[in-house]
Amino acid sequence: MLTNVAPEMLEGTVEADETFVGGKNKNRHASKKVANSQGRAHLDKTAVVGMLQRDGKVKTFVVPDTSAATLQSLMVENVAPQAVVITDAYASYKGLEKHFNKHISVKHTAGCYKTVGDNHTNNIEGFWSQFKRGVIGIYHYVSPQHLHRYCAEFETRYNGRNEGNVIQFVEMVKGSDKRRIRYKELTSTCPQP
């Protein structure tokens, strides 16, 4: 609905990171808690990958996993080869230097988030913070089935951050496909509790 038909490649310095969307296990009712769901093995959460061009746009993708094949293929499809890519030290990003001008890996070990010059992932981390606070504050819950729609909404908000309200509204209307989505259609494939 709000995506481009021919997306442009991100250029310059591009930060990439992944996040997991889903409720905290500790906040769930005892009957709905998932064993071993904290840490990297997010058994009950949905992975989302984000790429942010400094002083530019952000792109997000809901992905089935965060394997090297998945993450690196998305990067190659959406980031120009002459770009400088900055990521955290997650193992799936190893090997990006083969595809891009330069790959900088920032290691966030033991709570060390020290910024060294421009080698940081603070911008994409800030986007994830806005996204998650927005989901918690506005929607409270998002289903994995419709997560891509919420990501598109926050992408659009971020990418239009320098525009005035009227321009943002006009662009949103132009970007919509003018197709009405009925509730029955929207919930037809939702799993029943």
pLDDT tens digits along 103-125? 998 887 756 666 778 888 999 99
Question: Which runs of consecutive H residues, i.e. helices, occur in 111-146?
Answer: 122-134
| C-alpha–C-alpha distance, residues 21 and 60, integer Å | 13
Assigned token pair, 18: 């992944």
Q: How confident is the model at residue 44 (pLDDT cuts 50, 70, 90)?
A: confident
pLDDT tens digits along 129-159? 999 998 888 888 888 888 998 999 899 889 9
Q: How confident is the model at residue 28 (pLDDT cuts 50, 70, 90)?
A: confident
| C-alpha–C-alpha distance, residues 77 and 165, integer Å | 31
pLDDT, residue 1, reads 45
Q: Which domains does the chain have, with CATH numbers?
A: 13-187 (3.30.420.10)
Tell whether the model's pLDDT for residue 39 goes beyond 70: no
Percent of the chain beyond pLDDT 70?
A: 85
Rg (alpha carbons) of the chain, rounded to whole number:
18
Phi-psi region of 31 (alpha: psi -120 to 50; beta: other; left: phi over 0): alpha
* Predicted TM-score of the model (pTM): 0.80
